[in-house]
A and B are shown apart, each in its own frame.
Chain A
Amino acid sequence: MYVDLAQQLARRHVSEIATKILDGSIDPIEGCRTLLRFRENAMLDSSAFDVICAIESETDDYPVGSVRDKYSLSFLSCMDREVQQYLSDVRQSLVEACNQLIKDVEQKNNKGKNL
């Protein structure tokens, strides 16, 4: 069966990023933002993306990476506190969503192999 290369790559990225969020090697917000970039191409039709989408939308005003240099320390300290609290509140949902995405990718890959 022909599997679109872009779709295959996107699924691999989804799985890798979800794993990185779980093991803490990537900032969860940055991870959510990156995951959503692969949502369309991955074509997983997973409800887990709704959770990722919601967390990303709720934290899209939070500066991540080099752009933080452009913000004042007092603002960053205030935002860091607020967002860390939010992330700890949604941590369980995020973990479940990442596990679900990894599982969905595995299932799709296995289905492809069987065909």
Chain B
Amino acid sequence: MQKTIGSNQTVYVYDAFGLLAAEYSNVASSSPCSPCYLSTDQLGSTRLVTDANREVLARHDYLPFGEEVPANQAGRDSHWGPGNDAIAQKFTGQERDAEGPELDFFQARYYSGTQGRFNSPDPGNAGADLTNPQSWNAYAYVLNNPLNNVDPDGLDSMTTTTPGFDLNGHPTASGGGAPSTLGFGGGGFGFSWGGGVPRVVTISAAHLPYANGPLDVFVGGAKQAAYDAVDSLSRFVNGDHPTEATNWLLWQLRPTTQKQQAGGNALGVYQFVTMPESFTGLRKMLASEAQVAEILSGSDKAIAGAGTKVMLRDAQRLANQYGGKAEDWVKIRSSNFKAPDAAGFEIHAYKNMQTGKIVELKTKFQ
């Protein structure tokens, strides 16, 4: 998706689940941090922005329907409110449009936090449910229950706090557990679930490269180090004993602190989350994020263009549109992810081998 204002162009890349994965622009970034670390609440709203030195750059508070509370209100200092950062992800992790009135881009339509309503009707009445009159209003936001529900794509609301249901709204196998909350910054999405008991494991570990994805993204010694680190610490986490390990997936979320060392390895505190296999929606979302990271970090595989057996059909168009020579462009792919429900997908993109520029990411389903 591309936005053009005069000569300023910004390209937004979304992953398979409609979440902002990358943003490219010919305008210099006004962000005070690079990278910025986002901490979210149970709705996925960005509440805290920190830089690589763990300095707090901005804090955000919202009224129930998403209107941001300005700075210097009710004991808040100047860190609060808009204007301290250039982060677009705001209420429930959706992007706040910087150009116009305060509207949030909810994929299918725009939402006004000030009004607590979408500014266009529900496309095709996608979220309407005959048995729930609250859903009949095509402009209403999440059944008028914004503290418990979110609407990731502007089409339908989903609960964030109902115990016993997974992200897809399906009952979890064990069901009925107390809800646990996890916030995923950066991906712009936060949620909680009941049923099984996901646990966040925070460990200190050396020699792990930075990554956001399953432990399998590590290779060689780093992979072993990752598993060893988790194994050695998991015994301290109630229930995460080895006999249970086969039923749980271990994901590294991101280092909460990180210090670059010689040789490209990092020393820091890492967070891992364990989750039952039943969280298919979550797994897909995280896998998609990991695939985007894989593509953007250069851990990809060329499948078409120079050095491969297949000609790149759009080589000349890419050179015309993004620069460089036609022979510099190749098509790359990420690793393939197969979800427990048998859905498989991977990400393809074009890459300029001379400049490293990566454009036009797309998710391929199989």
- The reply to whether B336 and A54 form a contact with Cβ atoms under 8 Å apart is no
Q: Chain A residues with Cβ under 8 A from B310's Cβ?
A: 51, 54-55, 58, 90, 93
Query: Is A59 an interface residue when CB atoms closer than 8 A count as contact?
Result: yes
Query: Is A57 an interface residue when CB atoms closer than 8 A count as contact?
Result: yes
- Measured CB to CB, the closest approach of chain B to A55, in angstroms, equals 6
- The reply to whether B313 and A58 form a contact with Cβ atoms under 8 Å apart is yes
- The reply to whether B364 and A96 form a contact with Cβ atoms under 8 Å apart is no
Q: Given A40-B366, A60-B364, A53–B333 Cβ distance below 8 Å?
A: yes
Q: Chain A residues with Cβ under 8 A from B364's Cβ?
A: 57, 60
Q: Interface size of A by Cβ–Cβ distance < 8 Å?
A: 20
- A54–B333 Cα distance when bound, in Å, is 9
Q: Chain B residues with Cβ under 8 A from A58's Cβ?
A: 304, 310, 312-314, 331
The one of B304, B311, B366 that contacts A37, using a Cβ cutoff of 8 Å: B366
Q: Chain B residues with Cβ under 8 A from A37's Cβ?
A: 366
Report B20-61 residues with CB < 8 Å from chain A CB: none
How many pairs of A and B residues are in contact by the CB < 8 Å rule? 49
Report A2-58 residues with CB < 8 Å from chain B CB: 36-37, 39-40, 50-51, 53-55, 57-58
- Measured CB to CB, the closest approach of chain B to A9, in angstroms, equals 14
Q: Chain B residues with Cβ under 8 A from A57's Cβ?
A: 303-304, 331, 333, 348, 364
- A90–B308 Cα distance when bound, in Å, is 11
The one of A40, A50, A97 that contacts B344, using a Cβ cutoff of 8 Å: A40
Q: Chain B residues with Cβ under 8 A from A54's Cβ?
A: 303-304, 308-310, 331
- A5–B310 Cα distance when bound, in Å, is 32
- A40–B301 Cα distance when bound, in Å, is 18
Residue of B nearest to A37 (CB): B366
- The reply to whether B303 and A50 form a contact with Cβ atoms under 8 Å apart is yes
Residue of A nearest to B336 (CB): A40
- Chain A contact surface mostly: helix
Residue of B nearest to A6 (CB): B342
Report B266-318 residues with CB < 8 Å from chain A CB: 301, 303-304, 308-314
Q: How large is the interface on B (under 10, 10 to 19, 20 to 34, 35 or more residues)?
A: 10 to 19
Residue-wise interface mask of A (53-74) relative to B, using a CB-CB cutoff of 8 A (1 in contact, 0 not): 1110111100000000000000
- A41–B333 Cα distance when bound, in Å, is 19
Q: Chain A residues with Cβ under 8 A from B348's Cβ?
A: 57
- A50–B301 Cα distance when bound, in Å, is 9
Q: Chain B residues with Cβ under 8 A from A55's Cβ?
A: 304, 310
- Measured CB to CB, the closest approach of chain A to B325, in angstroms, equals 18
Q: Given A40-B338, A50-B303, A86–B344 Cβ distance below 8 Å?
A: no
Q: Chain A residues with Cβ under 8 A from B303's Cβ?
A: 50-51, 53-54, 57
The one of B301, B311, B336 that contacts A89, using a Cβ cutoff of 8 Å: B311
- A97–B338 Cα distance when bound, in Å, is 23
A–B Cβ pairs within 8 angstroms, 9 of them: A39-B366, A40-B336, A50-B303, A51-B303, A55-B310, A58-B331, A89-B311, A90-B310, A96-B309
Residues of A with Cβ closer than 8 Å to B? 36-37, 39-40, 50-51, 53-55, 57-60, 82, 86, 89-90, 93, 96-97
- Seed contacts A54-B309, A54-B310; 6 additional CB < 8 Å A-B pairs: A40-B336, A53-B333, A54-B303, A55-B310, A57-B333, A59-B313
